Amino acid sequence: MINYTPKHQIKIGGNMSKQGADKAGQDISFGIKFLFCCIGIATILGVLLWLLPDLLALFLK
C-alpha cells in the first residue's frame, strides 16, 4: 500500500490577500456611494419636475 501526502494543497477560492480585500472593499464602498448619489440626484430631479407646474404658475402670475 502506498501512502501519498501532497506537499502543497490546492485551494480553489482560497484566502484573499489583504491588498485584494482592501481593493474589493474600496470597490464596494465606491459602488454604494455612487448608488446613493444617483438616488439623491433622481429624488431632487423628481421633486423639481413634480413642483415645476406650480412654480411656473406662481412666477407667471
pLDDT tens by residue, the chain, 61 residues: 566 666 666 665 556 677 777 888 888 999 999 999 999 999 999 999 999 999 899 888 8
Direct distance between the N- and C-terminal alpha carbons of the chain, in angstroms, rounded to an integer: 99
pLDDT value for 9: 61
Report residue 16 CA to chain centroid gap: 20
pLDDT in the model for residue 17: 73
- The confidence score (pLDDT) of residue 41 equals 97
CA distance linking residue 52 with residue 60, whole number of Å: 12
Domain boundaries, the chain: 32-61
What's the pLDDT score for residue 7? Answer: 66
